[in-house]
């Protein structure tokens, strides 16, 4: 089977409009979450992380796009444009496009939206991106709750291994919308402060907005300094509950075990875990149980939700890219918002950003519908 690499990348978020800027902010332990007072999004002020639309407008103008695009499409175009340009890959029949999103242009359902309601069909985003960049192949949309970003990486890998494509461009994104905020609020899941994953005093999640793009390839001529090799991946269901994670961490336990088998590595080879850590009691507890069942309680672990909030269908890809820079810089980033351990099993939470030799990391995510995913990634330098 061909080796698969994650390469050129871009993150657009409240912390900045490219990966390097975002990483610098994370290194300085700056959070992109703030109080947002926007009645069009939520009836009360809330903690979240939202992309600056003035900067977006300016950056997007430089693209000189001819058509009228939704905000999400503009952000995806901008992000993908950077990655395609940097990679210098010619878009032909050997190049695929995958889009990872949970809700896409859901804001067009609002009365005030100037866009046709048909833009809410997720394939519309694929059409918009395909036409702009002149992709020769049919875009693929993955919509699998909060694991979409990671699952899309697995799907890209499989399509390259099956020789459908040589290269795949993957873009992920979800908006902070009235739709999503009202829904999570009805679950009483929104935190009234910056979220505190795995902490005793945590009070729920923050919803965030981030767009990420990446090149996935098996061709070593298209690698960057932060590129990583994808050693193994898996996805398993909890078979337990549609909105609550399994109490035994069954799906997460199984998918990490399965990814380890594919990667053919031992637990002691994992240097770092980039976990899901939404800061809800049930999620954090489930992860602690699963990681203890795996014997991973002493591996340094963080959640990046304290920097970005929960960016839904984009979170898996955004956090994987941050992990790539962690390896490149041999730096463990502090798990922002952590105070004191609030789960029933031990975890090695990274409390201070520090230098450490890093070679392999594990990225996990879990989501509604009982889904869990895991990736094992190795530095190539």
Partner 1 sequence: MNPKFNINTYTHIRNGKLSLNGNIVFEDETKDFSTFIKSAYRSQDMDYPKFFKMDNLSKLAFMAADIILRSTSNSEENIAIVLSNKASSLDTDRKHQESILDSDNYFPSPSVFVYTLPNICIGEICIKHLLFSENSFFIFDNFNPDHLWIQTEHLLKTKKANKVLCGWVDFDDSNYDAFLYLVEEEGDLDHTIKDIKQLYLCQ
For residues 251 and 266, what is the distance between their CA atoms, to the nearest angstrom?
A: 20
Q: Given candidates 30, 91, 121, 329, which one binds partner 1 under the rule CB under 8 A? A: 121
* CB of 155 or CB of 275, closer to partner 1: 155
Question: Is residue 251 near partner 1 by the rule CB under 8 A?
Answer: yes
Order across the sheet with 46-49: list the strands.
34-36, 46-49, 207-208
Q: How far is the CB of 14 from partner 1 (least distance, A)?
A: 24
For residues 341 and 351, what is the distance between their CA atoms, to the nearest angstrom?
A: 11
Calculate the CA dihedral of residues 232, 233, 239, 241 and round it to 10 degrees. 130
Tokens of 278: 């939404």
Question: Is residue 111 near partner 1 by the rule CB under 8 A?
Answer: yes
Residues forming beta bridges with residue 190, ordered by sequence position: 205
Q: Given candidates 94, 258, 292, 330, which one binds partner 1 under the rule CB under 8 A? A: 258
For residues 66 and 128, what is the distance between their CA atoms, to the nearest angstrom?
A: 11
Tokens of 28: 């300085």
* CB of 62 or CB of 242, closer to partner 1: 242
Q: How far is the CB of 162 from partner 1 (least distance, A)?
A: 5
* Angle (nearest 5°) at CA 64 between 72 and 49: 30
Tokens of 287: 């992860």
Question: Is residue 106 near partner 1 by the rule CB under 8 A?
Answer: yes
Number of residues that bind partner 1 (CB under 8 A): 53
Q: Given candidates 2, 43, 136, 247, which one binds partner 1 under the rule CB under 8 A? A: 43
Which residue, 104, 105, 100, is CA-closest to 151?
A: 100
Which residue, 213, 151, 163, is CA-closest to 10?
A: 213
* CB of 5 or CB of 165, closer to partner 1: 165
Q: Given candidates 2, 53, 200, 241, which one binds partner 1 under the rule CB under 8 A? A: 241
* CB of 143 or CB of 329, closer to partner 1: 143
> Pattern 160-199, binding to partner 1, x per CB under 8 A?
-xx-x-------------xx--xxxxxx------------
Q: Which stretch binds partner 1 (CB under 8 A): 220-228, 285-293, 323-331, 363-371?
A: 363-371
Q: How far is the CB of 236 from partner 1 (least distance, A)?
A: 5
Which residue, 127, 122, 175, 126, is CA-closest to 144?
A: 122
Question: Is residue 237 near partner 1 by the rule CB under 8 A?
Answer: yes
Q: Given candidates 243, 298, 339, 344, which one binds partner 1 under the rule CB under 8 A? A: 243
Q: Which stretch binds partner 1 (CB under 8 A): 58-66, 135-143, 194-202, 292-300?
A: 135-143
Question: Is residue 297 near partner 1 by the rule CB under 8 A?
Answer: no
Question: Is residue 137 near partner 1 by the rule CB under 8 A?
Answer: no
Are 240 and 357 in contact, with CB atoms under 8 Å apart? Answer: no
* CB of 16 or CB of 126, closer to partner 1: 126
Are 247 and 373 in contact, with CB atoms under 8 Å apart? Answer: no
Q: Which stretch binds partner 1 (CB under 8 A): 114-122, 197-205, 264-272, 280-288?
A: 114-122
**What is the 3-state secondary structure of 46-76?**
EEEECCCHHHHHHHHHCCCCCCCCCHHHHHH
Q: Please, what is the angle between helix 148-161 and helix 315-329, to 10°?
A: 80
* CB of 39 or CB of 352, closer to partner 1: 39
* Angle (nearest 5°) at CA 352 between 349 and 356: 90
* CB of 59 or CB of 262, closer to partner 1: 262
User: Where does this chain bind partner 1 (CB under 8 A)?
Assistant: 43, 102-104, 106, 109-111, 120-123, 138, 140-145, 151, 155, 158-159, 161-162, 164, 178-179, 182-187, 234-243, 250-251, 254, 258, 367-371
């Amino acid at each position: 089977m061909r080796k698969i690499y994650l390469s050129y990348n871009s993150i657009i978020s409240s912390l900045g409009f490219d990966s390097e800027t975002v990483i610098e902010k994370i290194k300085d332990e700056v959070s992109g979450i703030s109080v947002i007072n926007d009645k069009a999004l939520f009836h009360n002020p809330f903690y979240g992380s939202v992309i600056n639309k003035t900067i977006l407008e300016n950056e997007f103008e430089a693209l000189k796009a001819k058509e009228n695009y939704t905000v999400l499409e503009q952000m995806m175009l901008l992000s993908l444009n950077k990655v395609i340009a940097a990679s210098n890959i010619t878009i032909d029949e050997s190049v695929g496009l995958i889009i990872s999103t949970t809700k896409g242009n859901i804001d067009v359902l609002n009365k005030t939206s100037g866009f046709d309601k048909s833009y809410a069909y997720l394939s519309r985003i694929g059409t918009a991106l395909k036409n702009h960049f002149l992709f020769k192949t049919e875009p693929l949309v993955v919509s699998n709750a909060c694991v979409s970003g990671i699952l899309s990486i697995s799907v890209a890998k499989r399509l390259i291994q099956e020789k459908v494509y040589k290269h795949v461009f993957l873009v992920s994104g979800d908006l902070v919308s009235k739709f999503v905020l009202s829904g999570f609020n009805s679950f009483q899941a929104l935190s009234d402060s910056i979220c505190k994953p795995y902490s005793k005093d945590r009070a729920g999640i923050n919803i965030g907005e981030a767009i990420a793009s990446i090149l996935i390839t098996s061709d070593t001529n298209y690698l960057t300094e932060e590129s990583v090799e994808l050693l193994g991946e898996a996805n398993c269901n909890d078979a337990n509950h549609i909105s609550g994670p399994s109490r035994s961490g069954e799906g997460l336990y199984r998918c990490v075990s399965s990814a380890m088998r594919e990667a053919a590595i031992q637990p002691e080879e994992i240097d770092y875990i980039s976990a899901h850590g939404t800061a809800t009691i049930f999620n954090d507890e489930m992860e602690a149980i699963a990681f203890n069942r795996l014997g991973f309680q002493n591996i340094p672990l963080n959640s990046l939700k304290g920097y970005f909030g929960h960016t839904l269908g984009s979170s898996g890809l955004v956090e994987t890219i941050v992990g790539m820079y962690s390896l490149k810089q041999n730096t463990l980033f502090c798990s922002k918002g952590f105070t004191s351990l609030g789960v029933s099993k031990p975890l090695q939470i990274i409390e201070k950003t520090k230098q450490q030799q890093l070679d392999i990391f594990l990225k996990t995510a879990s989501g509604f519908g009982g889904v869990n995913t895991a990736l094992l990634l190795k530095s190539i330098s």
